[in-house]
Amino acid sequence: MATTYHPGSDLEVLTPYTPSPTPATATVHKSSLWSWITTTDHKKIGTLYLFTSLFFFIWGGVEAEIIRAQLGGPNRHLVSAEMYNQIFTMHGTTMVFLAIMPLSAAFFNYLIPLQIGARDVAFPRLNAFSYWVYLFGGLFISLPIFFKLAPNGGWFGYVPLTTRTYTPGLNVDFWVVGLQILGISSLAAAFNFITTIINLRAPGMTLMRMPIFTWMSFVVQFLIILAFPAITVALFFLMMDRFFGTAFYDMAKGADPLLWQHLFWVFGHPEVYILILPAFGLVSEVLPTFAKKPLFGYPVMVYSGILIGFLGFGVWAHHMFAVGMGPVADSVFSMTTMLIAIPTGVKIFNWIGTLAQGQIRYTTANLFAIGLVGLFTIGGISGVMHSSPPADLQQTDSYFIVAHFHYVLFGGSIMGIFAGIYYYFPKLFGRMMDEKLGKAHFWVNIIAMNLTFFPMHFSGMLGMPRRIYTYDAGQGWETFNAMSTGGAYLIVVATLIFLFNFFRSMRSGTPAGPNPWGAATLEWTLPSPVPEYNFATIPTVTSRYPLWEGKDVDIESARINQQGGKTAKQLGIVLPYNTIKPLLVALFLVLMFCGLLVGQRLLIGAAAAMAISLYAWLTSPLEPEHH
Amino acid sequence: MSATSHYTSTGLDNRKIAIWAFIGSECMLFASLISTYLVYKGRSITGPFPHEVWKDPSTGHVFKPILNIPVTSMSTFVLLMSSLAMVLALAAVQNKHVPKRTLGDKILGSSKLWLFMTALLGATFLGFQAFEFTSFVHEGLTIKTNLFGSSFFTLTGFHGAHVTAGVIWLLTLLMIDFKRGLTPDDALNVDIAALYWHFVDVVWIAIFTLVYLIR
């Protein structure tokens, strides 16, 4: 329970604050294209996730800018109404499934094995498979926009709008099939991480000594495996309706229009926590380091994370107050929604408690983390407002809702992920990001973000509905929309500063050394960038903050691990083979789904090819035999 | 496989943890499918219906209740017996090195026999399902007919697909057994297949009770 901190102990010996003068070993990033395609290394896969999801983040951002340009003033016709439908649908779909979830997955991949003292995830090839399914599935759902065939039924695809009767054409087919593909990627990754966290912890790494990011990731994986089946079934019904004429969402045959909404939100609300808990975990790593204090109330942070995950399955119908479920259902879901605010509030107070009386260093990572605490609170408060059905009836489907969920997703998830990127960049690339540019990014970003989304509260309260492609003058919405659009343009500036800083620092940042921030957890005992085998010797863990508790740290292991510079062969460490097979299985899987849209021949051919490559995967050994 | 020799926190093999997580996820999949069936129960506008007679008002044709409980009871019995065979198959693999003296020991200790029996009983269940589906179609119920048809065929079809995957899995194990002989070192591979197989059985008990027995 007691996590005492001993300033000035052996920590100084192990973790010099001054960056080491020798340039970082950048071998990880000089390797050939083929080694990236065939990799099974969780760090390389994490890096692939990071770059791919940043790419989709920018793609989704461009869509957002088009939306804001269109809405900047009344009666603008930059894009047609039909195109606007495709763009807002894809903005939501891209940001949720292709940007924020995989940005979190980048951190799961990179950090979980390092934080628990493992050499890799439990199933390295399955991990590669998850990434390739994500990449191909992401392209499958994103590319149709160039042919004006992008999904156009909104990110939550309500029926009967999305049935064949009301939305003919390929647009919604791409969405239905694309989300099925992405679900496979998330589920495969979740089974992998659950097994990794349960089974691959270093000796002494008990559950209650695990770093809080790993804890929050652990909760998220359970949310994924329990929530995704619901949307899989909902999408399967819609697919059957659209392709084979079944009756699930056919009102003429007596179907219930709420079946989709219930199934979707049984997935959709846990999904909200799937998006935010990893960011909470990252912030819970950043704040203690820069306050030089252990996380305030660690056990309570763990339990509140679990409670949020648990309650997350009991609040879904608060997305449906407007459909008329009746007073009993409305009251129950209203109460559970208010209840879930409690563990979330506990987290906010614990972060403040962590900062209180700390020796705070205002690095960029810390600024973003503190930014999350403030901005997420605003989004959280407007969220609690929606828990009251009468208030929600006024706000639902208005820009007030748009303001709310952008405060939790941009102000929460994205701010947390930026904190994580600035914090872990040195670990990934062996170099520091520029702090001046970082701070410029932070300040422009936070001003721009508030300028964009705060006025949406007002345009929403003035009655501006979501998803309209343009509006008439004289309804009092012009000023607020102009502000939002100006803010959105400023977000472009902030993001450009970030990208410039990111790519410049990758090549010419100051070399980082193993522990540039003086942090306390296991990943900081390793050289930056981390050698392919992670730990030369697996450490024995005796506390939550091994690098801060001089008396407890496994100094010998830490010293060996920190040296680096040796190959796995020299150390006698057996690593998995590189292999192309997971990529092939993923490719044929996605082609098989394409077959649903293109024709039976492709479907059957790809299914056969997938079966063959899967068989080749399962019958080939993971790694060389060792004795 | 070399994976088993690695150090793990729980002492269990990674694959064992993963299959339990997978089964947890599958529970939610079938829970969603079964809930949909139950929500749509009795809401079909036109027949045929599962338990009630329906007279088509336009043609005057009378449809009898569609579910054939005696036949499905038999297929349920077959599937439950396959779980018994699965248990014997796993025990046979685990006790491969125990000397077999009597004929009974030899029969009980034959992993090939019990793997084959499990797969055969599973395939028999699938045969029953194919018979059931075709006879329903002949009687006028397809997946497009009404809410009952859509939700019934999708739910039982999902289950049937799981049984099919299980039969392929078992036949693969049987093939390995014929090729090089399964030893106690392979027990985990059989154990994982068995966990999946028993899960698919348990799901069928829920489906049989909720869809067939309860009116």
Q: What is the pTM of this model?
A: 0.93
Secondary structure (DSSP) of A530-572: PPTTS-SSPPPP-SSSTTT-TTTS-HHHHHHHHH----HHHHT
Distance (Å, whole) CA B85 – CA B112: 11
pLDDT of residue A66: 97
Quick: pLDDT tens for A173-190: 999 999 999 999 999 999
Write the pLDDT tens digit of every residue in A42-81.
999 999 999 999 999 999 999 999 999 999 999 999 999 9
Residues A390, A392, A396, A398: is their CA dihedral positive or negative?
positive
For A247, which of B29, B39, B146 is closest by C-beta distance? Answer: B146
Distance CA A511, CA A463 (A): 53
pLDDT higher than 80, residue A18: no
The answer on pLDDT for A454 being more than 70 is yes
SS3 A161: coil
For residues A404 and A379, the answer to whether their CB atoms sit within 8 Å is: yes
Q: How confident is the model at residue A2 (pLDDT cuts 50, 70, 90)?
A: very low
What single-letter amino acid sits at A85? Answer: N
Residue A23 has pLDDT above 70, yes or no: no
Residue from the list B22, B29, B43 with its beta carbon closest to the beta carbon of A232? B29
CB contact under 8 A, B154 and A227: no
As a whole number of angstroms, the distance between CA A416 and CA A402 comes to 20
A13 or A585, higher pLDDT: A585
Burial class (CB in 10 A: 0-12, 13-18, 19+), A34: exposed
How is residue A225 written in tokens? 């495996």
Q: Which domains does chain A have, with CATH numbers?
A: 1-19+364-477+499-561 (1.20.210.10)
Q: With a cut of 50, which residues of chain B have pLDDT below it?
A: 1-4
The predicted pLDDT at position B153 comes to 97
Query: Which residues does A472 contact at the CB level (< 8 Å), separation at least 6?
Result: A74, A75
Average pLDDT over residues A99-115: 97
Nearest chain A residue to B36 by CA distance is A259
Contact check, Cβ <8 Å, A253/B45 = yes
In whole angstroms, give the CA distance from residue B39 to residue A378: 38
- pLDDT given for residue A572 in this prediction: 81
- Asked if residue A543 has pLDDT above 90, the reply is no
Active-site residue list of A:
91, 120, 155, 185-186, 269, 271, 273, 284, 318-319, 344, 347, 466
CB distance A191–B22 less than 8 Å?
yes
Mean pLDDT of A437-446: 98
Mean pLDDT of chain A: 92
Per-residue pLDDT at A550: 61
Q: Give which of A424, A368, A419, A415 is closest to A46, Cα–Cα.
A: A424
* Contact (CB<8Å) B9/A225: no
Token pair of A155, please?
A: 């990110």
* Contact criterion met (CB < 8 Å) for A263 and B36: yes
Q: How far apart are CA B97 and CA B119, in angstroms?
A: 24
Pairwise CA distance, residues A339 & A344, whole Å: 9
Q: What is the per-residue pLDDT for A26?
A: 41
Residue in chain B nearest A225 by alpha carbon = B25
Q: Would you place residue A626 in the very low, low, confident or very high pLDDT band (cuts 50, 70, 90)?
A: low
The least confident of A303-317, A543-557, A598-612 is: A543-557
CA atoms within 13 A on the CB side of A336: 19
Mutate to test the interface with B, among A112, A194, A199, A262 (most CBs of B within 10 A): A199
Q: Kindly state whether A28 is in contact with chain B, defined as any CB-CB distance less than 8 angstroms.
A: no
| Pick from A195, A247, A621: CB nearest B144 | A247
Q: Assign A21 a pLDDT band (cuts: 50, 70, 90).
A: very low
Instruction: Out of A87-91, A159-163, A336-340, A622-626, pick the least confident.
Output: A622-626
Position with higher pLDDT, A564 vs A14: A564
**pLDDT in the model for residue A449:** 97
A108-150: pLDDT as tens digits:
999 999 999 999 999 999 999 999 999 999 999 999 999 999 9
A357-386: pLDDT as tens digits: 999 999 999 999 999 999 999 999 999 999
Q: Which domains, and CATH codes, for chain B?
A: 6-213 (1.20.120.80)
Q: Are A367 and A439 in contact (CB under 8 A)?
A: yes
- Which one, of A532, A626, A534, A621, lies nearest residue A579 by Cα? A621
Residue B148 φ then ψ, to 5°: -60, -50
CA distance A122 to A125: 9
- Partners of B46 on chain A (C-beta within 8 Å) are 253
pLDDT, tens digit, for every residue of B129-162? Answer: 999 999 999 999 999 999 999 999 999 999 999 9
Greater confidence (A238 vs A12) lies with A238
pLDDT digits (tens, 9 = 90+) for A243-269: 999 999 999 999 999 999 999 999 999
Assess whether pLDDT exceeds 90 at residue A31. no
pLDDT greater than 80 at residue A556: no
Give pLDDT, residue A291: 95
Q: Which residues of B touch A199 (CB under 8 A)?
A: 8-10, 12, 14, 17
Is the pLDDT reported for residue A299 higher than 70?
Answer: yes
Whole-number pLDDT of residue B1: 36
Q: Report the alpha-carbon distance of residue A12 to residue A285 in Å, rounded.
A: 20
Q: In A72-123, where does DSSP find H-type helix?
A: 81-93, 101-116
- Residue B97 vs residue A195, higher pLDDT: A195
Question: What is the per-residue pLDDT across A394-428, written as a single tens digit (0 to 9) for each?
Answer: 999 999 999 999 999 999 999 999 999 999 999 99
* Sequential DSSP letters for A458-476: HHHHTTPBTT-S---SSSS
Give B132→chain A minimum CA distance, Å. 19
* Inter-chain residue contact B44 with A266, CB threshold 8 Å: no
Tell whether the torsion through CA atoms of A383, A385, A390 and A393 is positive or negative: negative
Helices A415-429 and A435-461 pack at an angle, to 10 degrees, of: 160
Quick one: pLDDT band at residue A239, thresholds 50, 70, 90?
very high
Q: Counting Cβ atoms within 10 Å, is residue A244 exposed (0-12), middle (13-18) or buried (19+)?
A: exposed
